[in-house]
Amino acid sequence: MSKKIALVGIGKIARDQHIPSLAASAAFELAATASRHGTVEGIDAYPDLASLLAERPDIPCISLCTPPHVRYDDARRALEAGRHVMLEKPPGATLSEVHDLAALAEAKGLTLFATWHSRHAPAVSAARDWLANQTIRRLEIRWKEDVRHWHPGQDWIWEPGGLGVFDPGINALSILTAIYPHPLHLTRADLRFPENRDTPVAADLTFADGRGTDLRAAFDWLKEGSPEWDMHIDTDAGYALLSEGGARLSINGVETSAHAGPELEGEYPALYARFADLLAAGASDVDLSPMRHVADAFTLGRRTTGAAFNW
Amino acid sequence: MSKKIALVGIGKIARDQHIPSLAASAAFELAATASRHGTVEGIDAYPDLASLLAERPDIPCISLCTPPHVRYDDARRALEAGRHVMLEKPPGATLSEVHDLAALAEAKGLTLFATWHSRHAPAVSAARDWLANQTIRRLEIRWKEDVRHWHPGQDWIWEPGGLGVFDPGINALSILTAIYPHPLHLTRADLRFPENRDTPVAADLTFADGRGTDLRAAFDWLKEGSPEWDMHIDTDAGYALLSEGGARLSINGVETSAHAGPELEGEYPALYARFADLLAAGASDVDLSPMRHVADAFTLGRRTTGAAFNW
């Protein structure tokens, strides 16, 4: 039997991913939305979460697609009202607020799910399983895209808490922390800020794993044309390329079978399936490691200022 | 019976606090030091931790007073060698590395203690107990000191990972997170960087506790003369002032009894007493909340650039 769920924040990511995923889900039924402007045809619409919670006690699950800097207040409000909550990535503007939400969910016996959609890209689990048995010499992340194409007009990404190039970069870090077989931590970060913005447009990161492995990441938000969402991995057993944001894996030039079948577009359906599993188990899943690496990068960052960014 | 302990990093904080505290401790006996330059008269000295660990299997406990950006490698080395570890504040250069150390200590059944000395200032527990029963309207931290007086020539504080004005500011945050009766998170940070340095010289912070309380902190590293290490707290039951870095508490102008007796200088003796208790219990204590607020401040920070800083 499907559970009623409400979507909060009807913008680009809700339309591109959440609404189609819920339409195809047997576990959930989209019962209402809350958004200042956006609505979904045929679905009850509320202007804000407070009125939705007040008027719809029949909806036990809330999925938040609002920008991260306003997510805390809504998540807290939903948990206080006894609802289970699923959070888009990143789960908040600060680490501390998500710790607070996780403690609140636990105290109330509710499910809180901090999602990392890229971890459900089709080739990620194959990459993790293969790497578990390898000696890794070098791993280089190259995550480069055109912000004007992928985030058109989204000014909040340039504001404090919007993370700048770490908004896509945290997807790479969510994959890295899922597939890398050892703990790792940042040792250096070089961040480039547009002179008129509060968040970086490019970042070069170096990590250490206590084993001397060469670990680095380059994030760039001004790459025109095709995006580059790749991880290049040298091991004692050869070279692996995890490409297209985790969708494809080739090992020594041989494509693995991951890049076939309908699951290519399956990241968000997988998130909702996981949310259903967590609800059934009465469990939460709040892994902050990708966001912790981003906070570490801001803390350790050496800053340079570059040209102004305008849309 | 006292336990043998080794001190790593014989600099200002080791001489001012750790060595006298250990000399007065019944729980510990300073058995060796490891430091590139510093030595302690009459105590076996090693040039680095690796040689100390190799030559002194009889020393079960290691206390690290080195700067935070080099602490991880030594802490990991000591844990790998089966030793219990106590860390000066902040416990590392990144949150992720301390998570890694905590997991390693747990896996090996060793004690890891991330210390926050200011939490042991004489009036902190009285402030916590009093605030637990109050409705708080406003809390303002003012933490202002002269970096040239308190950190003479310590260039590492200006380097990435050195935290700048958050090096003293994290003491305030360690007290705040110990005495404040509700979870809180940062909502705004304004950071001023000297044009020739990678860490801030001043910070203005705003927090939220989900109850509308007015919560703010002002850190400044260029205040000449007497330092200001104060928290001003307005409650429904009146005004409390926690001053002198947690040493004194007055409530509605009446000094509490905390500011008397030998415990005024007792922060570091209390840390070693706590370490001894943790060892006896086979437990660890790694509370990262003060450091998480600092990482949140760097992540959310709006930056301004000011005059160059030179010693």
User: Rounded to an integer, what distance in angstroms lies between the CA atom of residue B89 and that of residue A96?
Assistant: 19
Across the range A223-232, mean pLDDT stands at 97
Across the range B68-89, mean pLDDT stands at 96
Across the range A282-296, mean pLDDT stands at 98
Taking residue B196's Cβ as centre, other Cβ atoms within 10 Å add up to 11
Q: Which of A185-199, A255-269, B155-169 has the lowest mean pLDDT?
A: A255-269
pLDDT digits (tens, 9 = 90+) for A187-205: 999 999 999 999 999 999 9
pLDDT at residue B258, rounded to an integer: 59
- Residue A125, pLDDT above cutoff 80: yes
- As for the ipTM of the complex, it is 0.94
Cβ-Cβ contacts under 8 Å, B177 against chain A: none
Which amino acid is present at A157?
I
At A77, the pLDDT band (50, 70, 90 cuts) reads very high
pLDDT at residue A70, rounded to an integer: 87
| Interchain CB contact of B188 with A (< 8 Å) | yes
At B263, the pLDDT band (50, 70, 90 cuts) reads very low
CB–CB contacts below 8 A, A to B: 107
The average confidence (pLDDT) of chain A is 95
pLDDT digits (tens, 9 = 90+) for B20-49: 999 999 999 999 999 998 999 999 999 999
| A70 exposure class (CB count in 10 Å sphere: 0-12, 13-18, 19+) | middle
pLDDT at residue A1, rounded to an integer: 78
For residue A173, how far is the Cα from the chain centroid?
Answer: 9
Q: What percent of chain A has pLDDT over 70?
A: 97
pLDDT at residue B69, rounded to an integer: 84
Backbone angles phi, psi at A267, to 5 degrees: -60, -50
Please, what are the domains in chain B?
3-114 (3.40.50.720), 121-261+294-306 (3.30.360.10)
DSSP E strands: which ranges in chain A?
Answer: 3-8, 28-34, 44-46, 61-64, 84-87, 112-114, 136-144, 185-194, 202-208, 214-220, 228-235, 238-243, 248-251, 254-255, 302-306
pLDDT at residue A191, rounded to an integer: 97
pLDDT digits (tens, 9 = 90+) for B196-227: 999 999 999 999 999 999 999 999 999 999 99
User: Rounded to an integer, what distance in angstroms lies between the CA atom of residue A212 and that of residue A137?
Assistant: 8
pLDDT at residue B138, rounded to an integer: 98
At A259, the pLDDT band (50, 70, 90 cuts) reads low
Across the range A86-98, mean pLDDT stands at 97
pLDDT at residue B231, rounded to an integer: 98
Cβ-Cβ contacts under 8 Å, A209 against chain B: none
Residue with tokens 């107990």: B129
pTM (predicted TM-score): 0.95
| Residues listed for chain B | 311
pLDDT at residue B159, rounded to an integer: 94
Taking residue A150's Cβ as centre, other Cβ atoms within 10 Å add up to 14
Cβ-defined contact of A96 to B183 (cutoff 8 Å) = yes
Among B265, B267, B229, CA closest to B145: B229
Q: What is the DSSP string of B112-150?
A: EEE--GGGGSTTHHHHHHHHTTS-EEEEEEEEE-BHHHH
How far is the CA of B274 from the CAs of B85, B103, B306, in angstroms?
13, 20, 41
At A129, the pLDDT band (50, 70, 90 cuts) reads very high
More confident residue, B266 or A85: A85
Residue with tokens 């000094």: B255
Q: What percent of chain B has pLDDT over 70?
A: 97
Range 65-104 of A in CB contact (< 8 A) with B: 72, 76, 93-97, 99-100, 103
Picking from B99, B103, B185, the nearest residue to A100 by CB comes out as B185
For residue A5, how far is the Cα from the chain centroid?
Answer: 20
pLDDT at residue B293, rounded to an integer: 98
Q: What percent of chain B has pLDDT over 90?
A: 93
- Residue B275, pLDDT above cutoff 90: yes
| Interchain CB contact of B204 with A (< 8 Å) | no
Among A302, A176, A269, A296, CA closest to B96: A296
| Interchain CB contact of B161 with A (< 8 Å) | yes
